[in-house]
Every structure is written in C-alpha cells, then in structure tokens.
C-alpha cells in the first residue's frame, strides 16, 4: 500500500518526473530523498502536524514526509485564521512556508489512533473546528479507485487548480503519485495567462475544477484554447448546471479530451461516484455510478415517491468518523456507511441522480456550507437572519439588523465565502410558512426579484437599444454575441456598458447578460476603462481623415483599421455558436459595411465625379479603372468586404468550421502565413506591383485575427515577430511602418487602457462612427478649402451625425414594425421572440 511504505513507493519510480514547478523539475528519486529527510526531521514519535498549505514544493514535501513518518496531518490554507483549530486540537507541530515550528506547546499532546492519517475540515475551510478523520486505508482506497476510472498512467501530468487543504485538491495528488504520474504544482488561477502557458509548456494532461472554475473558464474563452496534451478534465465540489455539463462534454468530444463529472464528499475521502464521459451529453443531470469498490443504496423518505429517498454510500474510503475535540483523535473507525444527506433515485439505466438535499448543508464555490452555523453566527452578532442558497450565492434574509453591522462581511466570515458570493436581502420580518418555519423559497424569490428590479431591466434596455431589437427579444441567458452583436455595434456597447457597470469584465461580449448583472463595480474617480481596439479605431480614423486633408502627413491609419477589423472578426464572428449562426453573423457584418458604402457611392456618383461605376460593386481593384485618382479611395472597404466574404464561405463549410474550432490560433496563423507568402511573393506569381497589391493587404487583417486568438505569451510574441518581419520595407516609408507597427503591437499586447471618462466617451463616439467618417470624409473636407482643421473636424462630425441618424432610423423602423401574434405569445411566456439569435431552442 502506497501510504504504508511511501518513501519506497516514490523511490521505485526512479528518474521519472514526479513534480514540476515554475522553478524546477523533480524526479521521483529526488522526491523520495526529500520526503525521507522531512520525515526524519519530524521525528519518530507520532505527532499531529498542522500544515499551512500552498501549492508548492515545500508544502508537498512536508505533507508526504509527515505521512511517511506515520504522523497525522491537519492541512489548512496558508494565511488563514486557524486559531479555532489550533485551540481545539493542540497540534504538536505547526509548519508554515516549509519551516517546522515544534516549540513548547504548554499543553498535553493529543492521543492519536494508529490508523489516523489525515484530518480535513468538513466545510473546506478553517471556519469550523469540526474535522473529518481519515485513515491511510481510506486514502489508499480512494486514490486507487480514482486512478482506475480515470485510467491514470505514468505519462499523465496534472496541473493543480485546487488547494491542497481541500479533499478534492489533495486527491488529485494522491491518485497521480500512486500511478507514477507527475504533478504540475502552481497556485496560479485559471484566469491567468501564465497558468495556461505553464500548462502547455509542461505538457499537462488534466486539471480539476469546481463549478466556479468553469464559470471562470467561460469568461476567458476556454473553448477556443489549443491544449494539445489535454486528456481529461474533472469536475466536483458541487452540482454543475446540466447545460454546462453537456456543453463541456461536447467540447471535449470535439477537442479530443474527456470530461468527468464526479460526486463526492470529504467524509468519503474525496469521491463516491463518477459519470462516464460518454454518458455526459445525454445524462448531464446524473452523478453517474459508484466508484470502483463503492456502492449506493437508497433509504425511503416520507413524502417521496417510490425509489426516491436519502442516498447512502458504502466503501473502503468512508471516513473513520468526525472529530469535534482532540479526544476524538484517539477513536477508531465508527462509520460503516455514509449518510450523504442527498435525496436521490436510481434510474433504470443504473445511473444515480440527486434531486435535492435533506439537510442544511449546501456547496458553494467548492465549499460545503453549514447554513445553520451561518445563521447562528449572525444571531450572535445581533442580526435576525435566515440563510439559503440560490444562483450560486449565499442568500441572507436580514431583519432588525443593528445599524453598524455589516451583514455581508459577517456572513462571509461565518461561511468562509468571499463577500462577492453573499447577497443580503433586507426584509421587514423573516418570511415564514404557516407552520411557523422559515420560508426559504420565499427568500430566494425575493432575492431574484431584487436582482431583476435593480439590474436586469436597465441592462436589457441597454442591450435592446444598442442592438436595435425589442426588449422582449433579449434573453438574459444570451450574450452580446448571441444576440447578434458584431464589430460595428460593440463600440457603442462597450462604452455604454462600462458606464453602466463601472468597468468592463474580461471577455464581456461573450458573458450572458445575467452574469453581467453581477459584475457591477463602483467606477474609480480617476477614470474609466477603454478597450485598446476602440482607442486605436478612433485614433486611426482621425489620422486617415487628417492625412487625406493634408492637415498632417501620418499615413498608416487604414492599415491599423484593417488589423482591428481582423481582431474583431476573431472576437465577434468566430464564437462557439453553431455554424449556421456564425455564418449569419458574418453575413450581417458584411451587410453593415457594404450597404452603407454602396448607398454613399451612389449618392457621390450623382453629386461628384469622385467615383466610377465599379465602386458600386466595391470591386474597383478587380475590374478598374485603375488610372483614376479617386476610384481607388475605397480600397479599405473593398479589402474588408471581400476578405470577410471569403472567410464567410470558409466558415460555411463543415471542414473549415471544424478546423477553426479545434485549432483557433492555428487556423488564424495559417491565414497569416498565406498573407506573408503573398507579401513576399513566395509563389512567384507577381501580384506585388499590380492593382491586386492592395488586396494583398489582407495580411494586416490576419495579424489582428491571430492576435485575437493568441492565448499565451509565446503566441503573442510569434504574432509580433511576424508583424515586424512583414512591416519592414512594406511601404518604403520608415515612419509609416513604425506607426502601423506601434498601433498593431498595442492591439496584440494591451487589451485595455485607463483614461479620463470624457476621453472614453469621445473616443467611443468617433470609433463607432469610423465607417461613416471613412466613407464621407473625401467629400466633406474639400468643402472647407484651406481651412484644413475645420474640414477634418467637420468630416468627423458628419460621420458621427450620420451614425446617429442611421441608428435613430433603425430604431424608428423597429418600433413601427407590427408585433405578430407569435411574438406576443413569446413575450407573455418570457421567451425570446427571436430564438435563432441566441442559438437556443425554446418550446412553444
């Protein structure tokens, strides 16, 4: 058994890699030597070792050394308040930052049962001194079961995403060391680029997550990441929404990795059940089947239908029992089966499904929260309160609170949750059922109503106004992209959303509106956040207009705009939506550009001699005339429209769509490579000096596309290097090349800037109007003769006014549109009237 002869077990794997950190790689032989040394340092007399944990090498060596020396480990989060645990259990040794503190304790050492190996908090935090007692046999049995159903081999490498003080986090380490696999130790969050850089660099094959982890992954665009070595992903720590389970299972199937939904508890060492990945899509609500060596049975509960009752678990991983005082540490195993507290039933196919809870424990943010304990803590602070959970938050109904009492802080402290996970609802009196018991359902409904009243309505109105759709068509489960937002409407949306929320959350355009509601933050007095792409878009169009009017000579703005167009193409068109929806969004984007351009050219043909008939088709660079000084003015629009049209055809194909989803950066890089090949005339087809040369500027678009799909530092460095190689000598004008390189480098490396609010609004207005400024400035600034500054200002103003008038016209037409009976029925039911916009189906 691994935990009986731990040092020997580690040593037998020799030079195989055991641990990888940012600083070093450690073999199993080296780890065995260090573990043996730490065991010797802790001494031969069995001790209770309180270990402050981080996901680092000193913590791991101390933990394993304590187990190897047959000591009892009590892991706690580093930096936390563990006074209650210290005062209750009187540990012999406290280890912090790898330093052993075994000084005089002035109190008797606790007596330890021979089988006892590990003590873990029942809540996943140090907020309660109630601990779970686990034996070496428990640890070994659960590690073997997990390694078996995950099929862990010596070639696997698991990245640590959970703390070692948490049963889920430590079980990942146990199961991998059992099979001679490696562990990539890191304390980085999954939202950090450096985490994924390390993940790829070290060839990690798996990671684990609680429900909150997968919420964060949605925000950073995990589905678009290229993780070639990823073999499987595991989830536990609370119920994951079935839709998200299905989505992750499908993503894994497309990307070549497996998604394991797991069910467990600290009292079962870690795991009790798992859902085979091949069943996740069709049965996302199920907890699956018992782990190898375990079994379930269901005890009937009064009032429940036949076959549904409280779920009990048996297996070698069931804890020895609880500990409430240090005297309990001497007790042997007193638990044969685990009462989970969950209401479940076994389906005909053998899968188990949990349908509710029988007690007052809930899991939030991966922590098991005792709601009764939180209520008692609030009562002790003079607050009459009840607690429940909803929407992944701890909901507190508070009545008669003392004026100076911060209920949010008190509830966060009592539960171990962050303040952001607590929602306080002030009530005149505690809602109660007719029998006098607290009405928790009513509290959840009040919390939901408060959220809706305070946040949802104004954001729904904001989305509807910017996207020119009815408020009834805005599904709170949909994102900006889902609702048809594109690169032309996102400027107005980003500026107005920043004012509404106080900041722009990462990847806001793909967050559901319901998540944006919870992202409100007080705006800082010294400024607001402005996306770099918006700032560059505003600056570039002003440079274009000013250079054409000869107010200054700063060429290159249009090429920066082309890069920004590619950047927004990657963000707003290549999203996880279905293929048909992607193509529809692309066609809509092309229409937003081509239709205004064609209308303006038609107008200009009547009142000026600036254009040729070929400009109506946006095809001057294809069919000429190429000897006109004005017909080629719209080259930027032509390049953009035809590049988007070609990419729409690519995305419409099954193979093109599938390739882009699987290798998002790779496909963008291939497009960029094609651009570079044509830019350097690798194929010797001589397009460089012909009229086609302008169309070859699509490689700037490709730079922006690749930048939007760059998820690591190395990828961004690669895109920057290609930009540098491509730009040198491209124009034969060093100043112009430096300007374009600087602008696009900012786009690659700097997602947002902090600037005064007035600048944010001004830049937003100009950026939003960039298309109309580009189309009309040729005809506006000449009207002012030598008053060049006035002419450029007028061109910008005309573009802004036209943008405003077009938006007002569209809004007026939308309001004049008759409402169909079907639409009214959808509104009455609370459904979207345009389900195709969100990529979801709704029953009628």
Domain check: are 690 and 717 in the same one? Answer: yes
Tell me the H-state helices in 608-634: 620-623
Domain check: are 223 and 87 in the same one? Answer: yes
For residue 423, what are the β-bridge partners? 395
Give the integer Cα–Cα distance in Å for 313 and 608: 83
pLDDT band of residue 351 (cuts 50, 70, 90) is: very high
Asked whether the CA dihedral 191, 194, 195, 197 is positive or negative, the reply is positive
Q: Work out the mean pLDDT of the chain and round it to a whole number.
A: 85
DSSP 783: G
Assigned domain for 834 exists: no
CA dihedral 186, 188, 192, 196 (to 10 degrees): 10
What is the predicted pLDDT for the residue at 70?
96
For residue 321, what are the β-bridge partners? 133
Using alpha carbons only, how large is the chain's radius of gyration in Å? Answer: 31
Closest by CA to 529, choosing from 501, 571, 498, is: 498
Give the integer Cα–Cα distance in Å for 798 and 804: 10
Q: Which residues contact 54 (CB under 8 A, 6 or more apart)?
A: 78, 164, 187
Assigned domain for 590 exists: yes
DSSP 786: T
State pLDDT tens for residues 649-672.
999 999 998 899 889 999 999 999
Mean pLDDT on 786-803: 95
Domain check: are 47 and 182 in the same one? Answer: yes
Range with lowest mean pLDDT among 39-43, 186-190, 349-353, 833-837: 833-837
Phi, then psi, of 288 in degrees rounded to 5: 95, -135
- Of 430, 448, 480, the domain-final residue: 430
Domain check: are 389 and 294 in the same one? Answer: no
- Of 430, 452, 476, the domain-final residue: 430
**b (16+ CB within 10 A) / e for 618-645:** bebbeeeeeebeebbbbbbbbbbbbbbe
State pLDDT tens for residues 611-629.
988 899 998 877 877 767 6
Range with lowest mean pLDDT among 140-144, 473-477, 608-612: 473-477
Assigned domain for 225 exists: yes
Mean pLDDT on 301-328: 90
Assigned domain for 705 exists: yes
Mean pLDDT on 383-390: 88
Give the integer Cα–Cα distance in Å for 31 and 53: 18
pLDDT band of residue 795 (cuts 50, 70, 90) is: very high
DSSP 266: G
For residue 183, what are the β-bridge partners? 19, 158
Mean pLDDT on 408-433: 84
| pTM > 0.75: yes or no | no
Assigned domain for 467 exists: no
**b (16+ CB within 10 A) / e for 36-59:** bebbeebeeebbbbbbbbbbbbeb
Domain check: are 272 and 310 in the same one? Answer: yes
Domain check: are 388 and 337 in the same one? Answer: no
What is the predicted pLDDT for the residue at 754?
77
Give the integer Cα–Cα distance in Å for 134 and 266: 9
Is 125 or 436 the better-scoring residue by pLDDT?
436
Mean pLDDT on 318-338: 94
Share of the chain above pLDDT 70, in %: 87
- Of 332, 357, 382, the domain-final residue: 357
Structure-token pair, residue 63? 């933990």
Q: Which residues contact 423 (CB under 8 A, 6 or more apart)?
A: 393, 394, 395, 396, 447, 451
pLDDT band of residue 824 (cuts 50, 70, 90) is: very low
pLDDT band of residue 79 (cuts 50, 70, 90) is: confident
State pLDDT tens for residues 693-729.
667 888 999 999 999 999 889 999 999 999 999 999 9
Domain check: are 315 and 394 in the same one? Answer: no
Work out how many domains the chain is built from and give that number.
3
Is the preceding peptide bond at 625 cis, omega within 30 degrees of 0?
yes
Give the integer Cα–Cα distance in Å for 232 and 788: 62
What is the predicted pLDDT for the residue at 3?
76
Assigned domain for 644 exists: yes
State pLDDT tens for residues 732-784.
999 999 999 999 999 999 988 877 767 888 888 899 899 999 999 999 999 99
Range with lowest mean pLDDT among 91-95, 397-401, 819-823: 819-823
pLDDT band of residue 787 (cuts 50, 70, 90) is: very high
CB atoms near residue 146 (< 10 Å): 28
What is the predicted pLDDT for the residue at 335?
92
Domain check: are 418 and 341 in the same one? Answer: no
Give the integer Cα–Cα distance in Å for 315 and 321: 14
Assigned domain for 57 exists: yes
Domain check: are 272 and 409 in the same one? Answer: no
What is the predicted pLDDT for the residue at 359?
64
Structure-token pair, residue 511? 């967050």
Mean pLDDT on 199-224: 91
Give yes or no for residue 800 having a pLDDT over 90. yes
56: alpha, beta or left, given left = phi > 0 and alpha = psi -120 to 50?
beta
What is the predicted pLDDT for the residue at 522?
41
CB atoms near residue 524 (< 10 Å): 11
Give the integer Cα–Cα distance in Å for 289 and 575: 34
What is the predicted pLDDT for the residue at 834?
28
Q: How far is CA 344 from the centre of its chain?
A: 31
Tell me which residue range forms the domain holding 401: 366-430
Give the integer Cα–Cα distance in Å for 766 and 541: 8
Domain check: are 644 and 708 in the same one? Answer: yes
Assigned domain for 510 exists: no
Q: DSSP readout, 517-536?
A: HTT--PPPTT-EEEEHHHHH
Mean pLDDT on 788-813: 90
What is the predicted pLDDT for the residue at 161?
94
CB atoms near residue 844 (< 10 Å): 9
Give yes or no for residue 512 having a pLDDT over 60. yes
Domain check: are 193 and 326 in the same one? Answer: yes
For residue 258, what are the β-bridge partners? 232
Asked whether the CA dihedral 675, 676, 678, 679 is positive or negative, the reply is positive
What is the predicted pLDDT for the residue at 462?
77
pLDDT band of residue 524 (cuts 50, 70, 90) is: very low
Domain check: are 34 and 54 in the same one? Answer: yes
Closest by CA to 278, choosing from 347, 212, 346, 232, is: 232
What is the predicted pLDDT for the residue at 523?
42
User: Is 336 within 8 Å of 314 (Cβ atoms)?
Assistant: yes
């Amino acid at each position: 058994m691994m935990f009986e002869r731990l040092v020997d077990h580690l040593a037998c794997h020799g030079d195989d890699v055991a641990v990888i950190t940012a600083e070093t790689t450690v073999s199993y032989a080296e780890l065995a030597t260090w573990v043996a040394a730490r065991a010797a340092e802790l001494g031969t007399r069995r001790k209770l070792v309180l270990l402050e944990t981080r996901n680092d090498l000193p913590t791991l060596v101390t933990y394993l050394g304590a187990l190897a020396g047959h000591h009892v480990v009590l892991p706690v989060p580093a930096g936390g308040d563990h006074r209650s645990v210290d005062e209750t259990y009187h540990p012999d040794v406290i280890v912090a930052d790898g330093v052993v503190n075994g000084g005089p304790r002035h109190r008797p050492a606790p007596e330890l049962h021979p089988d006892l190996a590990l003590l873990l908090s029942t809540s996943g935090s140090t907020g309660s001194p109630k601990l779970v007692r686990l034996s070496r046999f428990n640890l070994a049995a659960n590690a073997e079961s997990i390694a078996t159903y995950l099929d862990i081999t010596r070639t696997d490498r698991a990245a640590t995403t959970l703390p070692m003080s948490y049963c889920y986090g430590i079980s990942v380490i146990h199961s991998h060391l059992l099979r001679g696999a490696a562990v990539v130790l890191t304390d980085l969050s999954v939202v950090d680029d450096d985490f994924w850089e390390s993940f790829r660099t070290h060839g990690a094959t798996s990671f684990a997550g609680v429900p909150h982890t997968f919420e964060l992954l949605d925000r950073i665009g995990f589905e678009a990441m290229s993780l070639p070595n990823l073999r499987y992903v595991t989830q536990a720590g609370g119920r994951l929404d079935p839709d998200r389970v299905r989505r992750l299972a499908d993503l894994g199937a497309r990307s070549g990795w497996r998604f394991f939904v797991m069910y467990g508890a600290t009292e079962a060492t870690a795991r009790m059940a798992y859902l085979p990945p091949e069943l996740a899509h069709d049965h996302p609500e199920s907890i699956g089947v018992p782990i190898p060596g375990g079994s379930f049975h269901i005890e009937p509960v009064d009032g429940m239908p036949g076959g549904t009752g409280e779920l009990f678990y048996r297996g070698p991983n069931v804890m020895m029992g609880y500990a409430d005082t240090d005297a309990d540490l001497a007790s042997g195993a007193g638990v044969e089966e685990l009462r989970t507290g969950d209401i479940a039933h076994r389906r005909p196919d053998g899968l188990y499904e949990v349908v509710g809870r029988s007690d007052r424990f809930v899991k939030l943010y991966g922590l098991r929260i005792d709601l009764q304990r939180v209520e008692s803590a609030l009562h002790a602070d003079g607050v009459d309160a009840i607690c429940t959970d909803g929407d992944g938050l701890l909901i507190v109904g508070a009545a008669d609170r003392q004026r100076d009492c911060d209920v949010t802080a008190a509830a966060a402290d009592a539960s171990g949750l962050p303040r952001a996970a607590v929602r306080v609802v002030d009530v005149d009196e505690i809602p109660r059922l007719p029998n006098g018991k607290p009405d928790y359902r009513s509290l959840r409904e009040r919390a939901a109503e408060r959220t809706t009243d305070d946040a949802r309505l104004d954001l729904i109105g904001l989305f509807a106004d910017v996207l020119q759709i009815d408020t009834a068509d805005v599904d709170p489960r949909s994102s900006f992209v889902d609702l048809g937002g594109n690169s032309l409407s996102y400027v107005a949306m980003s500026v107005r959303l920043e004012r509404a929320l106080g900041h722009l959350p990462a990847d806001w355009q793909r967050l559901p509106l319901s998540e944006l509601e919870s992202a409100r933050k007080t705006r800082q007095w010294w400024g607001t956040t402005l996306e770099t792409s918006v700032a560059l878009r505003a600056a570039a169009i002003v440079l274009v207009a000013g250079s054409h009017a000869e107010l200054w000579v700063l060429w290159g703005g249009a090429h920066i705009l082309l890069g920004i167009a590619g950047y927004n193409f990657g963000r707003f068109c290549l999203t996880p939506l279905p293929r048909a929806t992607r193509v529809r969004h692309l066609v809509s984007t092309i229409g937003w550009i081509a239709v205004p351009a064609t209308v303006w050219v038609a107008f200009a043909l009547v009142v000026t001699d600036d254009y040729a008939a070929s400009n109506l088709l946006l095809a001057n660079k294809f069919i000429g005339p190429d000897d006109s000084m004005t017909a080629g003015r719209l080259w930027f629009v032509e390049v953009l429209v035809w590049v988007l049209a070609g990419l729409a055809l690519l995305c419409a194909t099954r193979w093109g769509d599938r390739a882009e989803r699987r290798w998002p950066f790779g496909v963008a890089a291939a497009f960029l490579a094609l651009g570079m090949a044509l830019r350097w005339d690798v194929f010797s087809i001589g397009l460089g000096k012909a009229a086609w040369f302008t169309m070859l500027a699509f490689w700037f678009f490709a730079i922006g596309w690749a930048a939007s799909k760059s998820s690591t530092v190395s990828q961004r460095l690669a895109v920057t290097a290609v930009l540098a190689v491509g730009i040198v000598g491209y124009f034969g004008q060093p100043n112009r090349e430096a300007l374009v390189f600087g602008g696009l480098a900012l786009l690659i490396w700097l997602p947002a800037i902090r600037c005064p609010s007035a600048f944010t609004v001004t830049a937003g207005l100009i950026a939003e109007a960039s298309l109309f400024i580009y189309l009309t400035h040729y005809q506006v600034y000449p009207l002012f003769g030598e008053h060049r500054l006035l002419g450029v200002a007028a061109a910008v103003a005309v573009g802004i006014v036209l943008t405003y008038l077009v938006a007002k016209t569209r809004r007026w037409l939308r309001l004049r549109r008759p409402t169909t009976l079907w639409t009214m029925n959808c509104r009455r039911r609370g459904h979207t009237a345009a389900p195709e916009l969100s990529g979801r189906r709704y029953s009628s």
